[in-house]
């Protein structure tokens, strides 16, 4: 039982960890770009990002399932019912959160800071990096919000992962399974572990955030 529990916890952290890293790498530049630039269609894009921040996970799971199914456009990759499919679903959930928080953080910075950086001859990449440094506390909040939303998610990963023992079973799907089977003691134990993991990771994020503020 203990090895199975360790395996489930490890897979949960691995899948959500990879997903949040990908979401940050893809989301932060987009958030900065939307925060700095004004162009036709920007309002629509921001609206879509804000809508994406509240997407129902089961809808995300359904869309990813249809895309990765054998009859779907990416069915040839044979990713359905694998950890990779779960990562894809979690990236879709977390990415809008990262973009939205980054966008708000950049818009909250003093406009004179951007002008000062550009006046010193900074390139676009240097400008983005400096803004990331200035908005780092908000980005930690984006990291925490994104990770929290996916480590506790069950609908999407259940649909695209299949809850296969030893392959795609994570803490949330294991809790659902054990509850359905009447193993309430184990389900509660898994729930406590999930809460402790979320608490520990958020404590770490909070510590980094408060240290940066100090």
Give pLDDT, residue 1. Answer: 58
Domain that holds residue 68: 2-213
Q: Is 44 helix (H, G, I), strand (E, B) or coil?
A: helix
CA 185, chain centre distance (Å): 30
Average pLDDT across the chain, whole number = 89
Give pLDDT, residue 89. Answer: 96
**Residue ranges in the chain modelled with pLDDT below 70:** 1-3, 209, 212-214
Tokens 């879509």 correspond to 48
Q: Which among 108, 103, 121 is positioned nearest to 29, based on CA atoms?
A: 103
Q: What is the CATH number of the domain that holds 10?
A: 1.10.3720.10
Number of domains making up the chain = 1
**Alpha carbon distance 94, 100 (integer Å):** 10
């Amino acid at each position: 039982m203990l090895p199975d529990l360790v395996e489930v916890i490890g897979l949960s952290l691995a899948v959500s960890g990879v997903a949040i890293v990908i979401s940050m790498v893809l989301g932060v530049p987009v958030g900065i770009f939307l925060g700095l630039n004004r162009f036709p269609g920007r309002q629509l894009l921001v609206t879509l990002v804000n809508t994406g921040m509240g997407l129902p996970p089961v809808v995300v799971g359904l869309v990813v399932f249809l895309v990765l199914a054998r009859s779907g456009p990416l069915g040839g990759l044979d990713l359905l019912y694998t950890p990779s499919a779960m990562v894809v679903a979690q990236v879709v959930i977390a990415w809008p959160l990262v973009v939205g928080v980054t966008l708000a953080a950049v818009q909250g910075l003093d406009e004179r800071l951007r002008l000062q950086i550009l006046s010193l001859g900074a390139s676009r990449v240097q400008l983005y990096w400096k803004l990331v440094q200035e908005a780092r506390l908000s980005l930690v909040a984006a990291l925490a919000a994104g990770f929290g939303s996916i480590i506790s998610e069950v609908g999407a990963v259940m649909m695209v992962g299949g809850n296969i023992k030893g392959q795609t079973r994570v803490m949330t799907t294991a809790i659902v399974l054990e509850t359905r089977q009447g193993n309430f003691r184990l389900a509660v134990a898994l729930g406590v572990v999930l809460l402790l993991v979320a608490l520990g990771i958020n404590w770490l994020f909070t510590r980094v955030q408060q240290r940066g503020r100090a």
